[in-house]
Amino acid sequence: MRIILVGSLWLLSTVAAADTLRVGSHLLVSGDSAAQVREALGRPSRVTHHRDRDRAGSARHRRGAAAAKPASESWIYRRDGREITVTLVDGAVTTIQQRP
């Protein structure tokens, strides 16, 4: 029983830490601003802009008014042989992913 509890707590701690990144003395976390990301990581290697569409495939409501969708983009960095992807929505970090 104790092993299951310890294993569960370890799993929860790794999930919670998935959206954090230590860069030198900086710690980037979800909610940080785009300026904080630039300060810690510098200029991204590549930027991808995302466009959300509703299920009908258009960005319009029934009455024809344009739907207000948050601006979203991914900043991709290549550092020390790994790829770091920081996703921002309306200028704030939402996810941080690392790949070897």
What is the domain-level CATH number for residue 76?
A: 3.30.1450.10
Query: Can you give the pLDDT of all 100 residues of the chain as single tens digits?
Result: 666 655 555 444 444 446 899 999 999 999 999 999 999 999 999 999 988 655 445 555 556 566 667 789 999 999 999 999 999 999 999 999 999 8
Domain of residue 24 covers 2-56+65-99
With b meaning 16 or more CB within 10 Å and e meaning fewer, what string describes 80-100? Answer: eeeebbbbbeeeebeebeeee
pLDDT score of 71:
85
Q: Locate tokens 């970090």: which residue? A: 93
Total domains in the chain come to 1
pLDDT at residue 54 in the model: 55
Question: Residue 39: left (phi > 0), alpha (psi -120 to 50), or beta?
Answer: alpha
